[in-house]
Amino acid sequence: MLRIKNLNKAYGKRKVLQDLTLHIEHGKIYGLLGANGSGKTTTINIICNLVKADSGYVTIYNQEVSEETKKIIGIAPQENLLYKTLSCEENLNFFALIYGLDSHTRRQQVEATLSAVNLLDRAKSPVETLSGGMQRRLNIAVALVHQPKLVILDEPTTGLDIEARYEIWELIRQLKNQGITILLTTHLLDEAERLCDKIGILKSGRILAEGSLLELRKRIPAQEIVIVQTSEEELAIARALEYGFTPRRYGRDLAFWVPEQLELKEILSRFDGIPLDSIARQPVRLEYIYLELTQ
Ligand SMILES: Nc1ncnc2c1ncn2[C@@H]1O[C@H](COP(=O)(O)OP(=O)(O)OP(=O)(O)O)[C@@H](O)[C@H]1O
């Protein structure tokens, strides 16, 4: 549905995007992961035809991006794009008007979209009286009001509490079920893990790795990760190496990649004679893959 090929963009001498290539399939959720400044917003701006690339191309349904393709994209930017003193209904009506919807379709779409984001009962409430989570849902509603085929959600849950996050995750799943293609940027790795069919890891404007979670897991030769707490770290590392465990430091945690499926008692036996305060087993999460690829 969306193809980006060898995209380059520089601001002065700073190369912001470097041969960026990715493909988003119709009806799927694609997660673009990257640290601050890695080029996510620049990529979005090029897709939305707001910024011109220096070279490379972006196509949507085989059409190069233009003012025409803009009409089938809905974007919910990182900062809510809402008029605080206007009601939910008035905000949506305003954006629907900008998209050129006639008054009948506007009325229909405003109601349908408010219902989709579960804000129908707050239709008349001014935005400033809504909770942070509700405002973020309304911000997503703005992206949906003209029935786009591609929805871009730029860090949709950053700064929200866990309840509000769950609601937005559910909303994103519903959009996918309706056949909408979604490009999601986030630096929340658990969010990407939960939602995305395909994940692209972006660093300094380049895609370092791309694939489903299952495919990305193959980038680390481990069946699981074991995190230990011990006063004898040097000993634990030496012992682990003997058994083919690969040591890693995740923040203050000492971790080991375990290359084969082992019972807990087998793992414990590898550390026989070493005082362990705790030992925890974890699946190979996106967090570990991301750290491995980006550091
Ligand atoms: N108009 C501009 N002029 C100069 N530099 C820019 C401009 N827009 C972005 N940049 C630079 O390009 C780089 C990538 O920025 P971009 O906003 O695309 O990153 P990002 O991944 O979206 O980051 P964040 O998560 O912080 O929003 C940054 O170094 C930024 O300072």
Looking at the structure of the chain, the number of domains it has is: 2
Smallest CA separation from ligand 1 atom 28, residue = 37
Smallest CA separation from ligand 1 atom 3, residue = 11
79 C-beta closer than 6 A to ligand 1? no
Q: Are residues 70 and 205 in the same domain?
A: yes
Give the model confidence (pLDDT) of 88-133 as tens digits: 999 999 999 999 999 999 999 999 999 999 999 999 999 999 999 9
Question: By residue range, what is the domain housing residue 252?
Answer: 224-294
**In this structure, what token pair is assigned to residue 67?**
């003012």
Q: How far is the CA of 119 from the centre of ligand 1 (A)?
A: 33
Q: Are residues 34 and 134 in the same domain?
A: yes
Which parts of the chain register pLDDT below 70? none
201 φ, ψ to 5°? -100, 120
Smallest CA separation from ligand 1 atom 2, residue = 11
Q: Are residues 170 and 34 in the same domain?
A: yes
Please say which residue of 162, 183, 217 terminates a domain.
217
Please say which residue of 195, 217, 239 terminates a domain.
217
Mutating to test ligand 1, I would choose from 20, 36, 42 the residue with most ligand atoms within 8 A of its C-beta, which is: 42
Q: How far is the CA of 32 from the centre of ligand 1 (A)?
A: 15
Angle subtended by helix axes 88-98 and 132-144, to nearest 10? 30
Q: Are residues 231 and 204 in the same domain?
A: no
Q: Are residues 232 and 162 in the same domain?
A: no
Smallest CA separation from ligand 1 atom 13, residue = 37
Q: How far is the CA of 282 from the centre of ligand 1 (A)?
A: 34
Give pLDDT, residue 130. Answer: 94
Can you give the CATH number for the domain in which 21 is found? 3.40.50.300
Q: Whose structure tokens read 């799943």?
A: 173
Q: Are residues 264 and 149 in the same domain?
A: no
| ipTM (interface pTM) | 0.95
Q: Where are the alpha helices (DSSP H) in 36-179?
A: 40-47, 67-70, 88-98, 103-116, 132-144, 162-177
Q: How far is the CA of 42 from the centre of ligand 1 (A)?
A: 6
Give pLDDT, residue 80. Answer: 87
Please say which residue of 217, 237, 254 terminates a domain.
217
Give pLDDT, residue 36. Answer: 87
- Cα–Cα distances in angstroms (integers) from residue 34 to residues 20, 144, 164, 187, 291, in the given order: 13, 25, 23, 6, 11
Q: Are residues 54 and 104 in the same domain?
A: yes
Q: Are residues 163 and 258 in the same domain?
A: no
User: Global pTM?
Assistant: 0.89
Closest ligand 1 atom, CA of 34?
21
Q: How far is the CA of 203 from the centre of ligand 1 (A)?
A: 12
Q: Are residues 121 and 252 in the same domain?
A: no
Q: Are residues 20 and 157 in the same domain?
A: yes
Mutating to test ligand 1, I would choose from 18, 33, 38, 51 the residue with most ligand atoms within 8 A of its C-beta, which is: 38
Can you give the CATH number for the domain in which 240 is found? 3.30.70
Q: Are residues 151 and 50 in the same domain?
A: yes
52 C-beta closer than 6 A to ligand 1? no
Query: What is the rounded CA–CA span in Å between residue 205 and residue 148?
Result: 27
